Structure 1
Amino acid sequence: MMVRTVSNLEDMAADRNDVLIIGAGVIGLTTGVQLVESSGGSAPRVHIVAEQWAEETNSAAAGAIFDPSHAQHDRLGDWAGRTARRFGQLAGEHFPGVTLVDGLEACRQQLRPPPYIESLPTFRPCPPAELPQGFVTGWRYRVPVIDMPPYLKALRQRFEAGGGTLSRGRLGSLAEVTAEAGIVVNCTGIGARDLVPDTQVHPSRGRLVVVGNPQGRKTFFAEYTTGEQHDMTYVFPHGATLVLGGSMEKGEDAAMPDDEIPDAILRRCREAFPGETFDDHARRRRTGIRPHRPEVRLEVEPAGDGHIIHNYGHGGSGVTLSWGCAEQVADIVFQLRS
């Protein structure tokens, strides 16, 4: 991997990369892979500059079950459908971190499942006898569940194998790069709040716990909420480990070292599944900041002699929308280059 600190962009300008992506989380990396692997022999040269490597980003902390309900946009269904197809292909290729998992979603009040769940071919209502303690309705289905650390690592390797390059650096403003790169793709997530700046971006802190999986659980559990609930219960299997969650702390953008919320997560999971062993001897905590926005921003705007394509504001559905949004960005890039 090429590592550079970006104090100025003269060397980058000399390279004249066709596309410069800002951000190396799941949105930036997926966009990079899509661009370098684009068909037709016209794939652009692509460079990613990021303050943090993928394994250090908020994306690495995600629980990452396929769920488009934590973002808003008229094209949400299209982006999610495209991403679901790509994850299905990746699961068939045994791509690191990607599995299709059967499981149960349930809620503590009488609510209908969201339309995108009811439309799944694997959807079926769940009888009360199959529900965990404290839940009154639920349904079963199969969706992608992503183990983010190995997935992000494999994405980065795939991006570099396709000819993409990366450098590490902090940018003070978009103006620093728009004068040097013809096409800039802004995939900065919560960073867009200050970099653009965009006052519509607001944070939501999420915390989860990773524990051992001594009983070999292979199915997921997810609590369905109305969106106003700050705490939710979920259990996602990743082979030898389980990801337990979770929290939604609106307006919070700093990591917190306390054990109060992780302890509460474990307590809720044990109450819901009293017959299971959640091995917390190797307990690890993850904290990430979701970049919420009233609507995902995916649009192009002129900038000097070039263009900026914004691709951020995916809230808690970044993984779910990643490939669909990357495909749309690629379409825009090729229109601009034609």
Structure 2
Amino acid sequence: MVSDSGDEVIVVGGGVIGLTTAVVLAERGRRVRLWTRDPVERTTSAVAGALWWPYRIEPVARARAWALRSLDVYEELAGRPGVTGVRMVEGVLGETGLDEVDGWATARLPGLRASTPAEYAGTGLWARLPLIDMSTHLPWLRERLRAAGGTVEDRTVSALPDADAAVVVNCTGLGARALVPDGSVRPVRGQLVVVTNPGIHTWLVSTAASGAMAYFFPQPGGLVLGGTAEEDAWSRTPDPAVADAIVRRCAALRPEIAGARVLEHRVGLRPARDSVRLERLRLPDGRVLVHNYGHGGGGVTVAWGCAEEAAGLAGAGR
């Protein structure tokens, strides 16, 4: 049965995309119910290393606009890092030169420059970017939603039309593969290792000649080491051999990592798609359905820009 309230919205999906979309809708005056299969602390977003950078996300022009809007928000949230989980942290984007980034980056990111040999042995960019501690940020988003009058319900959805509201927003990530259904959504498996931080305060993203990734992000709970990007891999079980290889690659960049104690292993399945699906449709009964999924590993980077566009499509103006 559809709710009698025409201003009610159900957002399906409790990761960073769903939570952020729900927050924007609620703060624009809509009555919002967030349905999530898992507690926010156990969503794919909770596993993310969560460095802001528009990386491997299509369509490029729209993704850049979403990312830049999100950057505006994260810069403001970084004024309260202990509360929001957002900090502005310096580091190096390896294998990237100034001539390889578009003008938007140099115009929008003060201090963006070529890294020095002391900072990185290869070609790299030194940048100050948002780094988000998801263990703090996701619960903060949930409480911000509640403060705006929204509710969070643990609920599994088998079909989008089952959501009993005038407007339904689909932010189910990888779940959209079966729920929509959309067979173009596929997992890209990422494995991480969290170790005690041996005194590293900057982040680094590097790609070896072999194409293997290595990155580390200093987070309050430890140094997050990565990583992998295995397409169409569904296992959520950490692979000890993969974990050992991640530590070796990171220790080759910063030798002190070799002696760090392992605290945790994490695996997440990024909800990849050839391009983000952000559009408004009509359900057979005339209700509004907004899709907002397929962000791959860029969900944190574009979350606020996508949330604001999705809210507009849902009929919630500024």
TM-score by length of 1: 0.86
Range that drifts further, 261-270 or 118-127: 118-127
Q: Secondary structure at the match of 2:41?
A: helix
- Give distance in 1, aligned partners of 2:97 and 2:63: 26
1:31 — aligned with what?
21
Pairing partner for 2:280 from 285, 288, 300: 300
* Change in 2 beyond 3 A, CA 1:225/1:183: farther
Q: Secondary structure at the match of 1:69?
A: coil
* Change in 2 beyond 3 A, CA 1:252/1:277: closer
Pairing partner for 1:198 from 182, 185, 209: 182
2:129 — aligned with what?
143
1:320 — aligned with what?
301
* Change in 2 beyond 3 A, CA 1:214/1:128: closer
2:268 — aligned with what?
288
Are 2:238 and 2:266, in contact at CA under 8 Å, matched by a contact in 1? no
Are 2:193 and 2:262, in contact at CA under 8 Å, matched by a contact in 1? no
Q: Secondary structure at the match of 1:70?
A: coil
Q: Which runs of 5+ in 1 are unaligned?
A: 1-9
- Give distance in 1, aligned partners of 2:222 and 2:214: 16
2:76 — aligned with what?
89
1:165 matched to 2:151: yes
Pairing partner for 1:126 from 109, 115, 124: 115
What's the CA shift string for 1:95-117, capped at 9, x where partnerless?
4310000111212x989543254
- Give distance in 2, aligned partners of 1:252 and 1:14: 43
Are 1:13 and 1:181, in contact at CA under 8 Å, matched by a contact in 2? yes
Q: Secondary structure at the match of 2:303?
A: helix
How far the C-alpha of 1:311 sits from its partner, in A, is 0.2
Pairing partner for 1:187 from 161, 165, 171: 171
How far the C-alpha of 1:282 sits from its partner, in A, is 4.6
- Give distance in 2, aligned partners of 1:225 and 1:326: 35
How far the C-alpha of 1:239 sits from its partner, in A, is 3.1
What's the CA shift string for 1:150-206, capped at 9, x where partnerless?
1101111111111111111211111322xx211000000000000000111111000
1:20 matched to 2:32: no
- Give distance in 2, aligned partners of 1:15 and 1:125: 54
* Change in 2 beyond 3 A, CA 1:65/1:252: same
Q: Secondary structure at the match of 1:235?
A: strand
* Change in 2 beyond 3 A, CA 1:225/1:21: farther
* Change in 2 beyond 3 A, CA 1:15/1:211: farther
Q: Secondary structure at the match of 2:177?
A: helix
How far the C-alpha of 1:126 sits from its partner, in A, is 1.6
TM-score by length of 2: 0.91
* Change in 2 beyond 3 A, CA 1:13/1:331: closer
- Give distance in 2, aligned partners of 1:206 and 1:146: 17
How far the C-alpha of 1:313 sits from its partner, in A, is 0.4
1:59 matched to 2:45: yes
Alignment RMSD, CA only? 2.4
What's the CA shift string for 1:253-274, capped at 9, x where partnerless?
2212321111111111111112
- Give distance in 2, aligned partners of 1:51 and 1:15: 24
1:76 matched to 2:56: no
1:103 matched to 2:91: yes
* Change in 2 beyond 3 A, CA 1:286/1:117: farther
Range that drifts further, 321-330 or 165-174: 165-174
Q: Which runs of 5+ in 2 are unaligned?
A: none
Pairing partner for 2:236 from 247, 250, 255: 255
Are 2:91 and 2:204, in contact at CA under 8 Å, matched by a contact in 1? yes
- Which AA in structure 2 matches 1:248? A
How far the C-alpha of 1:76 sits from its partner, in A, is 1.0
How far the C-alpha of 1:139 sits from its partner, in A, is 1.5
Are 2:24 and 2:311, in contact at CA under 8 Å, matched by a contact in 1? yes
Are 2:226 and 2:246, in contact at CA under 8 Å, matched by a contact in 1? yes
* Change in 2 beyond 3 A, CA 1:251/1:31: same
* Change in 2 beyond 3 A, CA 1:313/1:55: same
* Change in 2 beyond 3 A, CA 1:158/1:317: same
Are 1:213 and 1:239, in contact at CA under 8 Å, matched by a contact in 2? no
How far the C-alpha of 1:332 sits from its partner, in A, is 1.8
- Give distance in 1, aligned partners of 2:208 and 2:19: 30
